[in-house]
Amino acid sequence: MVSEKADLDMDIVCAAAADLMSDVLAFAEPGSLLLTGLVNPHAVRTAEMADIVAIVFVRGKRPPPETIALAEEKGIPLVATSHTMFEMCGRLHRVGIRGCDISFALREKGAEGAVGNARRSGNRDARDHQASGTGL
């Protein structure tokens, strides 16, 4: 646990895993748990904008003091693990936490807005998630 002043009494709707904060903004659902390797304050600002309830930093990454301070100010708990993002996704899935549903983003932004932009920019992950229906 990185955060010292964290309220852990929360409901986690789903988990989103990404290092690109634009993907988090496009596909995470409110109430999500975010897994990322991005440890700068931008991750906390993105989490706040996307109504993410907590952040797990993967691959042994530790956030700097300014990231911790911002997260505490915003009430977003921070956790760090040495596990890879893939491993953590699997562990969370095993205990019943589902991945965010990309159809949520499609409903909110419109199918062409969320995935169409990704298709035009060559974002293969978004196309793959759309085709498989797996979400993040």
Residue 95 contacts by C-beta under 8 Å, 6 or more apart in sequence?
A: none
Question: Which residues lie across from 15 on neighbouring strands?
Answer: 33, 99
pLDDT in tens, the chain (136 residues): 666 776 677 788 899 999 999 999 989 999 999 999 999 999 999 999 999 999 999 999 999 999 999 999 999 999 999 999 999 999 999 999 999 887 756 666 655 554 444 433 444 444 444 444 444 4
Domain positions in the chain:
14-100
Q: Please, what is the Cα angle at 62 between 81 and 100, to 5 degrees?
A: 55
Superfamily of domain 14-100 in CATH is HprK N-terminal domain-like (3.40.1390.20)
